[in-house]
Chains A and B, each alone.
Chain A
Amino acid sequence: MVERRPFLTVLTHLTLILGVAFVALPVWIAFVASTHGAHDFISGLMPLWPGDQMVKNYWQVLSQGESTAGAPPIGLMLFNSSVMALGIAVGKIAVSLLSAFAIVYFRFPFRIAAFWVIFLTLMLPVEVRILPTFEVAASLGLLNSYSGLILPLIASATATFLFRQVFLTIPEELAEASRIDGAGPMKFFRDILIPLSRTNIAALFVILFIYGWNQYLWPLLVTTDASHYTAVMGIQRMVAVPDSEPLWHLIMATAILAMLPPVLVILVMQRLFVRGLIEQEK
């Protein structure tokens, strides 16, 4: 379309630049804070340009953590976060693929009932039922364990519905052709359905990895022992130190490290991420 409105074009770019600045500013400030020593935060305006303590600060949180707050080295917390995020992503995808396959490709009694039971979980985010869920996890001995961090979060209707949707769009004739070709249900699942869903699986994996990494309330409850802290929840332990000024440089170094893996995932796999996000709407 021929439309020459230079003013509007300038305005458009200006809006976007302001938007990018608004989005980036807090992280820039956090990064700056993570490169200074503790004495730079005592009073007045904090520094706005990176200092020279970056290596020292990051080395400290990676190796020792913030001992006064009882937080373990962030290296360990990052590892715990990775285990949790990968466990949730892989577990959720596996569980959901299987159940979606059963719901779409089989006729059996109680199929509709099973569908509705799963649908119910769509309505119940973990936050609204934390206390009883915590009690269940405690009575099953899941506190301070990776299974306790992962299991309660891997059943969710969203992933099941997503795969159901994907399977429904796979042409019927493919299933028929594979039947004529002598493939049983599991062979069809493995040889046809999984390969055909792999982009959806990858897209969902990106979303679920971020979801798992960013879990906060649940790890806060089920981990009482520092050895199972995750990076995202560990930061709260550093912030909530009573009666003393926060150690900004260490907190922010930790925050930067805690947000780095999921941010990298998004930047590297932007296309998959956008696709995964949009698919959840359907």
Chain B
Amino acid sequence: MQDKRVSFKGLWLPAALLAPQLAITAVFFLWPASQAIYQSVLRQDAFGLSVKFVGLENFADLIVDPSYLNSVKVTLVFSAATTVLAMGLALLFAVAADRVLRGATVYKTLVIWPYAVAPVLAGVLWWLMFNPTIGVLAYALSYLGMDWNHLLSGSHAMTLIVVAAAWKQISYNFVFFIAGLQSIPRSMLEAGAIDGAGPVKRFFTITLPLLSPTTFFLIVVNLVYAFFDTFGIVHATTTGGPGQATNILVYKVYSDGFIGLNLGSSAAQSVILMVFVMVLTVIQFRYIERRVHY
């Protein structure tokens, strides 16, 4: 940990300064997290009258529960598709915006504002676009001979939430890709041009490799986003359906806990997600540390 050479003395002042943060952390983070771990080893009977200790049984049940495994699969497909779509389009737009000489600022402004749109609103907007009766896209797709109905088709529903989730995240990725592109020294591209590489070749041999730290950072962020921040999209549009086709893990934690009232299982799912987030955070932290050492 980096340190300042100078420091102030005292014990009560720093304690007082830290108190608000530590208090909130303890009450709303550590206590609930430990509760989740505690509940994950308990099981309530159907009427919530008795509770008994079951060890890791909740976890064991999850691993063989087809609906949980389905949810894992759905989440993986959803987050991979969202990440690829959101990052791919953002990179495309960023490279284009970095190239244009005129109007770059206007383009940038017009691309970044959806960051401010809440995921749930993104879901509602695309829900209208894809609405089987009146939606613009559903109408257009029917012209192409496709009978769109995300209320019946699982893959249609998945497409809906992927598009909505990616649409909102493009702006975020775009900002970072632009920053990454701008930090690539012009002289390197000029050297590439003198060496006879055309724009496309320069992009793949110089720009893309030099963007890899940004890309890596964004992959982690996009995965976390797709895993957790997209709850609203699912909740407002597909509610996990049809037939569990869009029942992503974070939605399942919520529906099993609040609607199904299966506290033990929901807590076990929470714990698994926590472990997953920790792994991602550690990966990201290591990457940041490595960058700092440059």
Contacts and interface: CB of A to CB of B under 8 A. Distances in A.
Contact of B128 (A5, A29, A43, A104): A29
B231 A127 contact: yes
A273 B111 CA distance: 13
Interface in B85-118: 89, 92-93, 96-97, 99-100, 103, 107-118
Given A44-B133, A216-B118, 17 more contacts: A5-B199, A12-B99, A22-B167, A23-B114, A45-B136, A102-B17, A108-B14, A115-B1, A125-B228, A127-B273, A131-B257, A151-B24, A168-B4, A232-B232, A235-B124, A239-B236, A270-B112
B134 interface: yes
Nearest to A131: B257
A134 to B, nearest CB: 8
B128 A16 contact: no
B11 interface: yes
B267 interface: yes
A221 to B, nearest CB: 8
Contacts of A121: 25, 29
18 contacts: A8-B99, A12-B99, A23-B171, A26-B122, A108-B14, A111-B14, A117-B30, A123-B277, A124-B277, A129-B274, A136-B27, A152-B24, A168-B4, A213-B116, A213-B118, A270-B112, A281-B217, A281-B288
A146 interface: no
A132 B199 CA distance: 54
Interface in B263-283: 263, 266-267, 270, 273-274, 277-278, 281
B25 A132 contact: no
Contacts of A135: 32, 35
Interface residues on B, range: 35 or more
Interface of B: 1-2, 4-11, 13-15, 17-18, 20-22, 24-33, 35-36, 39, 89, 92-93, 96-97, 99-100, 103, 107-122, 124-129, 131, 133-136, 139, 167, 170-172, 175-176, 179, 186, 189-190, 193, 199, 217, 224, 228-229, 231-232, 235-237, 250, 253-254, 257-258, 263, 266-267, 270, 273-274, 277-278, 281, 288
Contacts of A26: 122, 125-126, 128-129, 167
A85 B2 CA distance: 33
Interface string A9-20: 100110110011
A130 B97 CA distance: 40
Given A41-B134, A133-B28, A19 B236 contact: no
Interface of A: 1, 3, 5, 8-9, 12-13, 15-16, 19-20, 22-27, 29-30, 33, 41, 43-46, 48, 94-96, 98-99, 101-109, 111-112, 114-115, 117-118, 120-125, 127-133, 135-137, 140, 151-152, 154-155, 160, 167-168, 172, 175-176, 179, 184-186, 210, 213-214, 216-217, 220-221, 232-233, 235-236, 239-240, 248, 251-252, 255, 258-259, 262-263, 265-267, 270, 273-274, 277-278, 281-282
Contacts of A176: 6
Contacts of B99: 8-9, 12
A55 to B, nearest CB: 21
Nearest to A210: B116
A137 B113 CA distance: 33
Contacts of A23: 110-111, 113-114, 167, 170-171
